[in-house]
Structure 1
Amino acid sequence: MAKPINHAHWSNPSRLKTRHLLLLMHLDEQGSVLRAAEAARMTQPAASKLLAEMEGLLGVPLFERHARGVAPTWYGQVLIRRARSALLEIGRAQEEIAALRDGRMGQASIGTVVNPGTNLVPQAVAAVKRQHPDILVRIEMDYSRPLVAKLLDGQLDLVIGRIMDPEDGAELVFEPLADEPHSVVVRAGHPLAGRAAVAHADLEEYGWILPPPDSVLRARLETMFLERGLVGSRSTVETSSLPVTINLLRSSDLLTALPVEAVAPYVQAQQLAVLPLELGVSMESFGIVRRRGHQLSPAAEKMLEALRGTAQELYSAGAR
Structure 2
Amino acid sequence: MQMISSRIAQLRIKHLALLDIIADRGSLREAAKVLCVTQPAVTSMLKDMESLLQVSLVERGQHGAKLTTEGVIARDRLTLVLNALQGLEDCIRAPNVKEHLRVGALSLAMLEMLPAIICKVRARRPDITIELQEGTVDGIIEGVMNGQLDCAIGRLSDNFHQEHYDALFVRPVSIMPLKAVCSVRNPIARERTVTLKQLRNQAWILLPKGTASRETFERAFIQQGLQPPAPAIESFSWLSNFHLAASSELVTVATAIAVDRFVQYGLVSAIDIRWPVKLPPIVFFCRKEAVQLGTVKIFHEELKRTFTNSPDVKAM
Please say whether Structure 1 and Structure 2 have the same fold, judged by a TM-score greater than 0.5.
yes
What does residue 110 of structure 1 align with? 103
Q: Residue type of the partner of 1:69?
A: G
Q: Residue type of the partner of 1:34?
A: R
- 1:50 pairs, out of 30, 45, 54, with 45
Does the CA-based 8 Å contact 2:57-2:70 persist in structure 1? yes
1:200: Cα distance to partner? 0.9
What does residue 214 of structure 1 align with? 210
Does the CA-based 8 Å contact 1:157-1:300 persist in structure 2? yes
- 2:121 pairs, out of 128, 150, 174, with 128
Please tell me whether residue 22 in structure 1 is matched to residue 20 in structure 2: no
1:44: Cα distance to partner? 0.5
Which runs of 5 or more structure 1 residues have no equivalent in the other structure? 1-10
SS in 2 for 1:249: helix
Q: What is the count of residue pairs matched by the alignment?
A: 309
| CA offset digits 1:244-298 (Å, max 9, x no partner) | 1221111222222212111222101222111111221212321211211225554
Which runs of 5 or more structure 2 residues have no equivalent in the other structure? 1-5
Please tell me whether residue 231 in structure 1 is matched to residue 265 in structure 2: no
Does the CA-based 8 Å contact 2:219-2:277 persist in structure 1? no
1:115: Cα distance to partner? 4.2
CA 1:89–1:17 in 2, change beyond 3 Å: closer, same or farther? same
Paired with 2:212 and 2:261, the residues of 1 have a C-alpha distance of 26
1:227: Cα distance to partner? 3.0
SS in 2 for 1:128: helix
After TM superposition, the structure 1 stretch with the greater mean CA deviation from structure 2, 290-299 or 104-113, is 290-299
Does the CA-based 8 Å contact 1:161-1:287 persist in structure 2? yes
CA 1:309–1:272 in 2, change beyond 3 Å: closer, same or farther? same
What does residue 156 of structure 2 align with? 163
SS in 2 for 1:283: coil
Does the CA-based 8 Å contact 1:162-1:289 persist in structure 2? no
Paired with 1:312 and 1:105, the residues of 2 have a C-alpha distance of 29
CA 1:105–1:311 in 2, change beyond 3 Å: closer, same or farther? farther
Paired with 1:261 and 1:317, the residues of 2 have a C-alpha distance of 7
Paired with 2:236 and 2:39, the residues of 1 have a C-alpha distance of 44
Paired with 2:98 and 2:155, the residues of 1 have a C-alpha distance of 28
- 1:95 pairs, out of 90, 97, 109, with 90
Question: What does 1:1-320 correspond to in 2, within 5 Å?
Answer: 12-99=7-94, 102-164=95-157, 165-167=160-162, 168-294=164-290, 297-314=293-310, 320=316
Question: Normalising to structure 2: TM-score of the pair?
Answer: 0.88
What does residue 3 of structure 2 align with? none
After TM superposition, the structure 1 stretch with the greater mean CA deviation from structure 2, 202-211 or 38-47, is 202-211
Q: Residue type of the partner of 2:117?
A: A
Does the CA-based 8 Å contact 1:249-1:255 persist in structure 2? yes
1:62: Cα distance to partner? 1.0
